[in-house]
C-alpha cells in the first residue's frame, strides 16, 4: 500500500512547509502544476500516476528520466511572478474575510 507521504513526498513536504506559515497566521500559496497536458493526446494524469508509482524515490529516479524543460521553466516563471507581485504590493497578504484558516490561525488580523 502506498501512503500519501510515499506517493507525494515532495508535495507533502511542501504542504508541510506551507502549513508552518499558515499555523503562524501567514497566508501561503501552494501552487501545483496539475496534470492536464496542452496536447489533448497526452494523458497527463496517467503520466503523473505512472511517474509516482514506477520512478518517484526509487533507484531509477535519476537524471536519465525525461524532463520537459520548457514546462519546468514555465512553472518557475509562474512561481516567481506570484512571489514578485505579492512582494511589490503595498499591502501585506491577508486572509479573506470568513476564511477558515484566517479565523483559526489569525483571528486578530487587521
Domains of the chain: which residue ranges? Answer: 4-105
pLDDT at 3: 37
End-to-end CA distance of the chain: 45
Identify the pLDDT of residue 97: 86
CA-CA-CA-CA dihedral for 103, 10, 31, 107, to nearest 10: 10
Label residues 9-23 b or e (16+ Cβ within 10 Å = b). eeeeeeeeeeeeebe
The answer to whether residues 95 and 106 touch, using CB atoms and an 8 Å cutoff, is yes
CB 35 within 8 A of CB 44: yes
pLDDT along the chain (110 residues), means of 10: 43 66 81 83 91 90 88 90 93 86 78
What are 87's three cell numbers?
Answer: 512582494
pLDDT at position 22 is: 82
What is the pTM (predicted TM-score) of this model?
0.61
Query: Do residues 36 and 44 make contact, with C-beta atoms less than 8 angstroms apart?
Result: yes
Amino acid at each position: 500500500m502506498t501512503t500519501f507521504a510515499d506517493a507525494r513526498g515532495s508535495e507533502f513536504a511542501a504542504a508541510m512547509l506551507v502549513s508552518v506559515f499558515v499555523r503562524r497566521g501567514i497566508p501561503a500559496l501552494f501552487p501545483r502544476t496539475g496534470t492536464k497536458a496542452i496536447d489533448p493526446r497526452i494523458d497527463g494524469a496517467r503520466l503523473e500516476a505512472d511517474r509516482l508509482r514506477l520512478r518517484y524515490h526509487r533507484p531509477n529516479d535519476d537524471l536519465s528520466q525525461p524532463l520537459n524543460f520548457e514546462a519546468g521553466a514555465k512553472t518557475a516563471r509562474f512561481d516567481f511572478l506570484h512571489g514578485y507581485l505579492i512582494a511589490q504590493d503595498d499591502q501585506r497578504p491577508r486572509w479573506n474575510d470568513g476564511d477558515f484558516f484566517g479565523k483559526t490561525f489569525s483571528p486578530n488580523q487587521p
